[in-house]
Amino acid sequence: MTEQTLAAPIDDHGKRQRGFSRYQALLIALLTFTQFTIILDFIIMSPLGAILMPSLGITAGQFGIAVSAYAFSAGLSGILAAGFADRFDRKRLLLFFYVGFTLGTALCAAAQTYHVLLLGRIVTGLFGGVIGAVVLAIVTDLFPLHLRGRVMGFLQTAFAASQVLGIPAGLFLANHWNWHVCFAAIVVVSIAAIAIIALVMEPVDAHLKLKQDRNPFHHLIATIGEPRYTLAFAVTTLLATGGYMLMPFSSAYTVHNLGIDITHLPTIYLVSGLFSIVTGPLVGRASDAFGKYPTFVFGCAMTVVMVLIYTHLGHVSLATAILVNVLMFVGIFSRMIPSQALMSAIPDASQRGSFSAVSASLQQLSGGLGSVLAGAIIAQAPDGSLVHFDRIGYVVVATTIVTLVMMYFVQKAVAERMGKQVV
């Protein structure tokens, strides 16, 4: 089946497509596997925090910079790549950035000092930060809007799988050997993913037949300056700013503030991930069946409640820590999946790549800013516990409420553009 066939507007005339074809299912699995390696490389830094800081002799602030270095470099590369994102076959673009990402991860695996690790995170971010945008553009090109919630739901299982399979395995390797082995394992898995993409995936180049600005800089400016995109970019920025503030310090907070032994961290990630593997596809189906915005509203409400509970916990049992983490991930997924599906309907076909690249860039830059801001807000007590962690929760709640209002106008604009279709 060709890419052009997949992109046909089958949902507007005749019967709506209800399921996925064999190639579509294979493609979803391939893109999910790709996302798995990218997400694992990023989030593995959080659980490794409790190991990396004493190993390299760095402070919480320095660790926050190492985490945000990936985000800032990814944000820069997203802007630089946006002008060219719609000028190449998306498969070739994906392969190019994936190879660069793998090389950056290899540099992290070989790092013996903090500064070399920092360099590795920058290189990895320069290439890895664009991959999510390319994947989103591919999904938007090949799947109609009424199926995108389900597709996004499956893609988000990569996040869960990285917890179920990747993080516990990474912590096991780090505890029994050293943290370098974690990044080396990601390199091996990424090489396998690159081979699969090259051999199995078909070209994604129908957008090349559309009229486009020949000048990459003009193409970038046209995308950034399009008034219809401004609100979506603002929502993306706020969602990432709030989300990235909690993640980098979650392992240190769990160990030192919640009183959970570090050997139990893999259990928390494992159980939370198993629930998330089920939650992702269910949220995707719900967003397609009941509407993207109602699902997003549910996710915001759940996020506000669980973040306030999480950031005010004292010493708790392992079961309580797991339950709070699971419910918080339900809220996060219920925001991420419908918002991505809804905003994928905003750009014109000729600007999907550049729109996704700019969105990814804003997401990474604001995420990096969130990590730095979180590092500036909290402090580490002599016993290792994190002070003022509750203040981060208040910031996350505030950004969540603002995005709830802004997303209402986004879905209203999409509904008007799509006519009577359910969004």
- What CATH number is given to the structural domain containing 147? 1.20.1250.20
How sure is the predictor about 97, in pLDDT bands with cuts at 50, 70 and 90? very high
Q: Distance between CA atoms of 292 and 296, rounded to whole angstroms?
A: 6
Tallying the residues shown for the chain, one arrives at 423
| pLDDT digits 0-9 by tens, 367-411 | 778 877 888 888 888 887 888 888 999 999 999 999 999 999 988
Among 404, 396, 417, 376, smallest CA distance to 59 is for: 376
- Domain contains 9: no
Q: Distance between CA atoms of 330 and 286, rounded to whole angstroms?
A: 13
Q: Distance between CA atoms of 152 and 141, rounded to whole angstroms?
A: 13
pTM: 0.73
Give how far the C-alpha of residue 313 lies from the chain's centroid of Cα atoms, to the nearest Å. Answer: 26
- Domain contains 5: no
- Provide the token pair at 159: 């996040």
Q: Which amino acid is at 326?
A: V
Q: Which of 68-82, 249-263, 299-313 bottoms out in mean pLDDT, i.e. has the lowest?
A: 68-82
Average pLDDT, the chain: 81
Among residues of the chain, what percentage have pLDDT more than 90? 16
Q: Distance between CA atoms of 322 and 337, rounded to whole angstroms?
A: 22
Once rounded to an integer, what is the mean pLDDT over residues 341-361? 80
| pLDDT digits 0-9 by tens, 151-203 | 888 887 777 777 667 667 777 777 777 778 888 888 998 999 899 889 888 88
Once rounded to an integer, what is the mean pLDDT over residues 327-352? 83
What's the domain range around 122? 21-418
- Domain contains 329: yes
324 has pLDDT over 80: yes
Whether the CB-CB separation of 71 and 43 falls below 8 Å is answered with no
- Domain contains 355: yes
The three-state secondary structure class of 97 is helix
Q: Which of 45-59, 299-313, 368-382 bottoms out in mean pLDDT, i.e. has the lowest?
A: 45-59
Q: Which residues contact 287 (CB under 8 A, 6 or more apart)?
A: 149, 152, 153, 295, 296, 337, 338, 341
- Domain contains 315: yes
Q: How many CB atoms lie within 10 A of CB 237?
A: 20
- Domain contains 3: no
**What is the pLDDT, as a whole number, of residue 389?**
87
How sure is the predictor about 3, in pLDDT bands with cuts at 50, 70 and 90? very low
Count of domains for the chain? 1
48 has pLDDT over 50: yes
**What is the pLDDT, as a whole number, of residue 100?**
93
**What is the pLDDT, as a whole number, of residue 95?**
92
The three-state secondary structure class of 387 is strand
Q: Distance between CA atoms of 335 and 284, rounded to whole angstroms?
A: 11
